[in-house]
Structure 1
Amino acid sequence: MDQQELNEWFNEYGESILTYILLMVRDYQQAEDLTQETFLKAYRSKQQFKESSSVKTWLFSIAHNATIDHFRKKHPLKHYLGLTMEEKDGMPLPEQIIEMNEESEELYRAIQQLKPTYKHVIILRKLKEFSTSETAHVLNWSESKVKMTLRRALVELEKVLTRGGVINEINRSI
């Protein structure tokens, strides 16, 4: 891999990988660092890239693993117990990072309350619009596990949104 190819990958996938990581770590600077780490790892391990997957899924796999490693190092007990990091200030992300309307802010907060496996599958399948097979590749799961986990995650997300009153408010406005 040469510098030009790496630049092309960064131009094509950099922003998408940054937002994916940002949804997980909730810290813009950390997300930038992990995005840079993702592309450095890709550069160093290009010879391990198998053409059986797309560049996109390979890069997202690296980003996913870098994010998991970050949580393991920063919060080993929380990672072991399957807990997510809590928000530092309870405020949504700055508008300049991700512009959200009121309903999507509620959705974002609800997703943050889910366990990590549910959060990962919802972000990849529904927010990043990955296919089932792409998601399976990124998470190193079977396609059936992706489908089953997504179904369970969406049920749990609906419960969280209902508890928060979002679903009832949406139904009233229809």
Structure 2
Amino acid sequence: MENISRERAEELFHQFSDYIFKTAYMLTRSQALADDITQESFIRIYRHYQTFDESKPIKPWVYKIVVNTFRELKRKQKWLIFSDLLPENEKNDSRSFEQVLIKKETEKLLWDAINKLPRKYKEVVILFYFNDFSLKEMSEILSIPLGTCKSRLHYAIKKLNHACKEDLLMMGGHIYEA
């Protein structure tokens, strides 16, 4: 950690730890692997902090490290992607039991469809819809041209739409055209 002050390291950890873990979890669907990716990402962030260009936003730089860490671990290990959902806080949920059940089933259906996408399409869906990155930020994080980023997102939405269409309609869900 000689490349970064202890105070800055703690600040980055507090600012990004939850977000990095959630991103890693969405990519892997495994808490253990998400923990590993989170830990390895912070090691790399601290080790390579001196390469960060402070004239640019830090968030895309951090998530580029997370995505690259995920890709490297994925290449090294041939592990399964688990499909259990993130636990939700439903203590103060005023919806009916049936609505909660439908929502959970819809989320499971969507996650199953996302997990079936090839990695390059899965990454853009997660970065765009779950981490709220702009297309420009995503192209920087993934080191791909903006046009490629747009086409991957369009293709992923089209595939998800097709994969989920019948099941969502049967459950009373809505379909959004890409």
- Give the Å deviation of 1:170: 2.7
Q: In structure 2, which of residues 15, 18, 27 is the aligned counterpart of residue 15 of structure 1?
A: 18
CA distance in 2, matches of 1:4, 1:107: 40
Q: In structure 2, which of residues 122, 127, 139 is the aligned counterpart of residue 136 of structure 1?
A: 139
Higher-Rg member (1/2): 2
The CA deviation string for residues 23-64 of structure 1, in whole angstroms up to 9 with x for no partner, is 111211221121011111111111111235321111100010
TM-score by length of 2: 0.80
Question: What SS class does the counterpart of residue 170 from structure 1 fall into?
Answer: coil
- Give the Å deviation of 1:96: 6.4
Post-superposition, which runs of at least 4 consecutive aligned residues in structure 1 deviate over 4 A?
none
Question: What SS class does the counterpart of residue 34 from structure 1 fall into?
Answer: helix
TM-score by length of 1: 0.82
Identity %: 25
Judging changes above 3 Å, is the alpha-carbon distance between structure 1 residues 38 and 140 closer, same or farther for their aligned structure 2 residues? same
Residue identity in the other structure for 2:9: L
Equivalent runs, 1:139-154 vs 2, <5 Å: 139-154=142-157
Residue identity in the other structure for 2:125: I
Judging changes above 3 Å, is the alpha-carbon distance between structure 1 residues 51 and 142 closer, same or farther for their aligned structure 2 residues? farther
Question: What SS class does the counterpart of residue 93 from structure 1 fall into?
Answer: coil
Indicate the RMSD between aligned Cα atoms, in angstroms: 2.2
Map of 1:80 onto structure 2: none
Which ranges in structure 2 are unaligned for 5 or more consecutive residues? 90-99
Which ranges in structure 1 are unaligned for 5 or more consecutive residues? 76-83
